[in-house]
Each structure stands twice: as C-alpha cells, then as structure tokens.
Structure 1
Amino acid sequence: MTVLLHIDASARKERSISRALGETFKHQWLSSKPADKFIYRDIGSTPPDFISESWIAAVFTPEGKRTDEQNLLLALSDVLIEELTEADVIAISTPMYNYGMPASLKAWIDQVVRVNKTFTFDLNRGDFPLEPTLSGKSLVLLTSCGEFGFGENGTREDMNHLGPHIQTVSKYLGVDEVYEISVEYQEFGDNRHKRSIESAYESIPGMIKSIATNT
C-alpha cells in the first residue's frame, strides 16, 4: 500500500486551477490504486501557524525539558511531520503568487522542516552540516501561474521562485524524485492558456504510471 499526502495551497476555493489539477491527480491515482491510503491537508483554507520566537525556542529545547506550553506550540508541527513521514508520495497543488509560493505553503514547510525531526545538524560534517532524516519519497508539484515562460530556458525562468524553491527544500521532505505539471497563461485567457490546461491534464496519467512504477 502506498500513502499519498495531498497538500492544497490555493487561497481560492472556487475556480482554482491548481486545486482542480490536484483533485484530478488524486482521483486518477486512487482510481488506479484504490487500496492506497490518502491524507489531505487544505492549507489554503486553513493555513498552519507561522513559526515564532517561542516556537523556535521550543524546537531547540530537549523533549524531556519542554514545558506544556512548548509542547502545545509544537503540537501541529508534530502532526504535520507524522503525515509527511508516513507518505510515500507528496502531491502539492499550488498557484504562483508574486513569483513565489503562497504564505500558507511556506508556513507548512517551516513547520515540517525541523531540526532533529526531518533533518539533523552536525558541524562535524564541515560546511554542509544539515542531513535529511527521511528519504525515498516522490513529490508531485502541480502549479498554475498567470504569466508564462517559467520553465527551463523560458523567458521568465529567472523569475520562477516557486518550483525551484520547493525543489531545493524537497530533500528535507525526504524526496528523491520530483515531477511537475504546470498551467500557464491564466491571466491571458487565450488559446495558449487552453492548450496549457489540456496539456497538463493529458500529462497526469503518464506521470501516475511513472511514479507507481518507481514507488
């Protein structure tokens, strides 16, 4: 049995392209693998708390010495990390906001990328002291954006701070393989946008087959 964790990050509940992509991916995955377990987090509607000075202090306090208040501060982080740890496949459906990720998605990442939980820190490793503790997961990134040309060699490649950022931190989510489907031209609403949507949906079955083969 494979465990699929789906993170929805769009602030929109209606007419969200990334949400629709995520829903289609989930439906097709579970249709082909109905015995798999599905975990869902709608962080676009219910964003995780931002980390704070008190949260950071709690993280760096040894577990046996934390106060009840500190344990409460870390309770959501613990749950989110449990979901992440259990997952074999992580699907993140998210729009691009201002050339980067929504604040809710950054908040989720900050809650789960946590020292002594999803990575260790050891200065004996020299200039690269961080080491992930999780591995073997696949990440499916389903994105939408208003403009276009954010992919490799695209006209706006250097303005893309969504996919590259997520790929950079993905190793601390335990990710070994990253797959991405993007819809562009949303603000133009022309035939290019229509073709981009069609291409995205046509790519989902092949992606699922590829991931299932490697999982």
Structure 2
Amino acid sequence: MSTLLHVDSSPLYDRSVSRQLTSAFVAQWKASHPGGTVVDRDLNATPIPPITGEWVGAVYTPEEARAPQQKELLSLSDSLLAELEQADEYVFGVPMHNFSVPSTLKLWIDQIVRAGKTFSYEGGIPKGLITGKKATFILATGGNYDAGTQMASLNFVEPYLRSLFGFLGVTDATFLTAGGTMALNYGQDRDAFLAPHLEIVQTYAQAI
C-alpha cells in the first residue's frame, strides 16, 4: 500500500489557496489509492527551530557517540526524515513569499538536508539518497510568474525546490501553479478562480 506525505506551509489556513488545492489533491489521491496512508505535516503547527552550531555539531558526531542532549537536538529532524523515508509520494502546498518559499518550509528543509541521511558525497561527487519517490508541488503565487511573463525572473520558488529535491534524489517532480491569487483581494470570485486549478489538481492526482 502507498503512503503519501502531505506538507502544508501557508499561514492562512481557510483563506489559503495552496491548502485548498492540496486538500483536493489528498482527497482524490485517497479515492485513487484505497487502503493508502496519508501522513499530514502542517509546518505552521510544528515548532521548528533554526539550526544552530550545536545542532550541526550533533549531526556530524557519529550516532553511537552522541550525548543525550545531542540526540534530543536531532529528535525533530529524525522524525521528519522518517516521514520522508516512509512515504512513496509527497505533495507540498507552497505559497510564494517574497519571491521564494515560506520561512516555515525553509526551516523544515534545513532539518531534513543531512549528510549521510538525504545526501552524500562519494569521491567529491554529490549523491541524493532519497530515491524512487514522486513529488508534487502545488504553488500559489500572488502575481503571474509563468515562463515568458514579465515577472518570470522573480520566481525563485520552482527553481529552488526543483534543484534542492533533485540534489536529494527526488527527480520525479511536478509543479502545479495557481498564479494571480492577488485578484482574490480585489473582488475576484474565489470559486470561479479556483475551479480550473481544482480540476487540474484533481485530474493529476487521479492519474498518478
């Protein structure tokens, strides 16, 4: 049976476009995978501290030599890594914040990018250790940052996530973007705006 890791990072909850779209994705995925398991990780409900020098020291201390305090420092990271490893597929809800990813998602990333766990260097060559996984990134952007548009060069979300997860070994990555969400603040009907994006997300989730 398949396992889906569902990660949301928007702080807006009921007003969040990315959360509504990931919710639709998960519902369709469940319908298409009877008996499948969904693991939900809400990054705004998960206190994630920034990494520190002590955290880095714990990471590079051999596991068998770690002091109890070092093990405690890495306990959250270990839990997040276990979710990544156990899941067959991932879906991430990612709103664009200041042309990049939300700070909560960056904190999560810093916890799971670990030498010997999610990547390694063999002979000086990087090797991703998270392999055989499929990732879907559902992005919500205030403006339109599609390729060929005037604002395309300011979209650092997709290039960053594609590069990062590719480095970790997740090369089967799909990006579905709901652009222009700012219109919802100026009277755009929410249902009308979401309808085509919901259809795309549900159709994709049904097919995978």
2:198 equivalent among 193, 201, 206: 201
Q: Which blocks of at least 5 consecutive residues in structure 2 are unaligned?
A: none
Judge conservation of contact 2:32–2:206 (CA < 8 Å) in 1: no
Q: Is it true that 1:151 corresponds to 2:113 in the alignment? A: no
Corresponding letter in the other structure for 2:86 = E
2:86 and 2:29 map into 1 onto residues whose CA distance is 17
Output the amino acid matched with 1:108. Answer: W
The alignment-based identity, stated in percent, is 31
Q: Which amino acid aligns with 2:157?
A: L
Is the CA contact 1:12–1:44 (under 8 Å) kept in the aligned structure 2?
Answer: no
Task: Structure 1: give runs of 5+ residues left out of the alignment.
Answer: none
What displacement does 1:88 show?
A: 1.0
CA contact (8 A) 1:47 1:107 kept: no
Query: What displacement does 1:109 show?
Result: 0.9
Question: How has the CA–CA distance of structure 1 residues 204 and 4 changed in structure 2, closer, same or farther, with 3 Å as cutoff?
Answer: same
Query: Partner letter of residue 42 of structure 1?
Result: D
* Structure with larger RCO (C-alpha < 8 A, sep 6+): 2
TM-score (norm 1): 0.89
- 1:176 counterpart = 2:171: yes
Shift of 1:208: 1.8
Counterpart of 2:65? 65
CA RMSD of aligned residues (A): 1.8
| Alignment of 1:16 onto 2:12 | no
State how many pairs are aligned. Answer: 206
Deviations 1:17-49 (A, max 9, x none): 111111111011102212111111000232422
- 2:81 aligns to what? 81
Shift of 1:87: 1.0
Cα offset for 1:173? Answer: 4.3
Pairwise CA distance, 1:183: 1.3
Displacement after TM superposition at 1:159 (Å): 0.3
Q: Which residue of 2 aligns with 1:49?
A: 49
